[in-house]
Amino acid sequence: MNITVLDYGAGNVRSIRNAIKKLGCNVQEIKTPEDILTAERLVFPGVGSFGKVMENLTLKGYAEPLRRRIKEDKPFLGICVALQSLYKGSEETPEAQGLGIIDGTIRRFPNHIDREGKKSSLSVPQIGWNGIIPAKEHPLFTHYNGEKLYFVHSYYAPLAETPQEWLLSTTDYGISFASSLAKGNVCAVQFHPEKSGKTGLAILENALLQLGRREEISLTGSPDKSSVKTKKTKIAKRIIACLDVRSNDDGDLVVTKGDQYDVREREGQSPGRVRNLGKPTALAKRYYEEGADEITLLNITGFRNFPLQDQPMIALLKEISHQVFVPVTIGGGIREFTDENGRRYTALDVAAAYFQAGADKISIGSDAVYAVEAYRCNNCKADGTSSIEQIAKVYGAQAVVISVDPRRIYVSSPEGYTHTVIKTKERGANGEEYCWYQCTVRGGREGRDLDVVQLVTGCEALGAGEILLNCIDRDGTNSGFDLELANLVTNAVNIPVILSSGAGTAEHFVQAFTETDVDAALAAGIFHRREVGIGEIKEAAAKVKKAAENGEERIEVRK
Ligand code: 1PR
């Protein structure tokens, strides 16, 4: 079967191509606006912000043929922002016009800190695995059995502005919204089937098979309003496997793992050599199969080397995206760079190369610290020049993760500091009861005069979509996550927080999910050394209840 993919040159379109190929179909490309009308089956993977998507469609002359194709009821599957583009506009970019097939406006999830004066447990963007409730019978959901699917978005299609004849499923995230639409041969989904593991691939296969089989599509039942009203879906806490990648002393790209960021063997047969815990592709594939909700790859020498030149990270990402159908984040070296020939690459160029190679999100470490320092010097005014702003503008906030590398600085009193000082249960070497968290750059090598609250709030203001919260003191120690750090950061920002560093047991994940509001927890060493399994963590977490607004509720995980 031939499937035509509408790629207008932004974001990770490789993953959808790979997923379609994995299902045994041929992938063709749109080359001219006319191809949009003649394609047998068209998949439109919307990537980036609403405004950028509509700008690209208009510039390339694709918007009008798309409207015609949809009106003529030719087979069409839209993913993520492509679903949103069917509406007449979006609060994300009020000046941009959508395709206007549906006379409604896409809205932003409310900010919970702003709205309530206190933080609820839902961050914006919604990033993670949530359920869907089918509103009617439809071939897209044949064999669908209530599994969770991967969502990543700050804007949603409101039910009140979605005609019943279009509504195919709903999802809840504080608000109930339209998570898929279908009318005749036109379908659109807010979740990413290509990133939703085996369930997502099955839905994608249904969609590809059914697109164009008009008779079966028209057999769809009428909306089951009762189930839409009574049931609610819940987002899962994510378990993320992290691969710190670098060249070893023989020049091979390996997964390594440090103790408090020191990745060289301290003793044993080869002291001083870079620890080698396995091959990146094999480990990424293993974690996908074991049920990791996401995979993170950090090029830990990115501050030193230019990733587009020195490291085969691009090839690695391409290889991984053939085998891993959950989201992949890549970090290390995302910054501006000038090569030896004087050619300048912006941080956006580096990110673009990663997205095109199959990354769903990029993570910025050192450069985020410099960006926030500059922002603070500029009286906290964003001027559009930082890597965070540039990348978020094109690819959307949800694609920009900030990797934070803080370390504790103990002080004897909270007085006289410009930094946020906390009272800690874990005293310092000299009995100090207070500490602040200093941000570092260059893989923890250099401390800066910036604390973690200043960094994360600055990054959020500049447009970052998620925080990857490491902790140098805990990294590689197996002693548990720094929960005080987690609470400090989740109370400061609206965006999702991934807690990292120090996991040693499944119980440590349970603590993170019951004692803090983090959205995800990440580990490296325990997975590489097979000390704790991803399934074991999910089983332990699913048994536990956590205090919630209306009493207690179970910790939600993706099975
Ligand atoms: O500054 O944008 O080039 O990004 C560099 C990235 O590489 C940053 O995200 C930084 O955290 C990471 N990094 C740099 N040097 C090291 C190192 O270890 N020498 N790794 C490093 C950071 C932290 C986590 C680790 C968790 C979980 N590693 O990625 O996987 O702490 O470990 P655990 O479960 O074993 O405790 P830039």
Mean pLDDT of all residues in 540-544: 96
The answer to whether 202 touches 483, Cβ cutoff 8 Å, is no
Q: H or E segment at 21? A: helix 14-22
Tokens 């070893």, residue located: 248
**Residue 311 pLDDT:** 65
**Residues of the chain above pLDDT 90, percent:** 81
Rounded-to-integer distance, Cα 324 and Cα 240, Å: 13
Nearest to 191 by CA among 238, 134, 128, 133: 128
Q: Please name the residues in contact with 431: beta carbons below 8 A apart, sequence gap of 6 or more.
A: none
**Residue 221 pLDDT:** 45
Rounded-to-integer distance, Cα 420 and Cα 263, Å: 30
For residue 390, give the amino acid letter.
Q
**Residue 230 pLDDT:** 60
213 or 408: which leads in pLDDT? 408
The answer to whether 306 touches 344, Cβ cutoff 8 Å, is no
The atom number, within ligand 1, closest to the CA of 302 reads 3
- For CA atoms 469, 474, 477, 483, give the dihedral sign: negative
**Residue 122 pLDDT:** 83
pLDDT at 355 > cutoff 80: yes
Give residue 486 CA to ligand 1 midpoint distance, Å.
Answer: 17
Nearest to 401 by CA among 357, 444, 356, 354: 354
**Residue 225 pLDDT:** 46
Q: Whose CA is nearest to atom 5 of ligand 1?
A: 332
The atom number, within ligand 1, closest to the CA of 334 reads 2
- Of the given ranges (240-249, 310-319, 412-421), which has the lowest mean pLDDT? 310-319
350 lines ligand 1 (CB under 6 A): no
524 lines ligand 1 (CB under 6 A): yes
303 lines ligand 1 (CB under 6 A): yes
Q: Whose CA is nearest to atom 14 of ligand 1?
A: 443
337 lines ligand 1 (CB under 6 A): no
Rounded-to-integer distance, Cα 261 and Cα 406, Å: 12
Cis ω for the linkage preceding 33 (within 30 of 0): no
Nearest to 468 by CA among 364, 367, 372: 364
Q: For all residues of the chain together, what is the average pLDDT? A: 92
Over the stretch 442-493, which tens digit does the pLDDT of each residue have?
A: 999 999 999 999 999 999 999 999 999 999 999 999 999 999 999 999 999 9
Q: How far is CA 150 from the centre of its chain?
A: 9
| Residue 349 Cα distances to 3, 364, 397, 426, angstroms | 29, 14, 17, 43
Q: Whose CA is nearest to atom 10 of ligand 1?
A: 443
Rounded-to-integer distance, Cα 172 and Cα 233, Å: 5
pLDDT at 553 > cutoff 50: yes
Over the stretch 263-291, which tens digit does the pLDDT of each residue have?
A: 998 887 788 899 999 999 999 999 999 99
Mutate to test the pocket of ligand 1, among 255, 261, 364, 534 (most ligand atoms within 8 A of CB): 261
pLDDT at 121 > cutoff 90: no
**Residue 214 pLDDT:** 47
242 lines ligand 1 (CB under 6 A): yes
For residue 123, give the amino acid letter.
S
**Residue 312 pLDDT:** 81
466 lines ligand 1 (CB under 6 A): no
Over the stretch 373-407, which tens digit does the pLDDT of each residue have?
A: 999 999 999 999 999 999 998 888 999 999 999 99
Over the stretch 32-70, which tens digit does the pLDDT of each residue have?
A: 999 999 999 999 998 888 998 999 999 999 999 999 999
Show which residues are catalytic. 80, 192, 194, 244, 405
Rounded-to-integer distance, Cα 168 and Cα 141, Å: 10
Over the stretch 187-243, which tens digit does the pLDDT of each residue have?
A: 999 999 999 999 999 999 999 987 655 444 443 444 444 444 568 999 999 999 999
Tokens 């409604």, residue located: 104
**Residue 291 pLDDT:** 98
Strand partners for 334: none
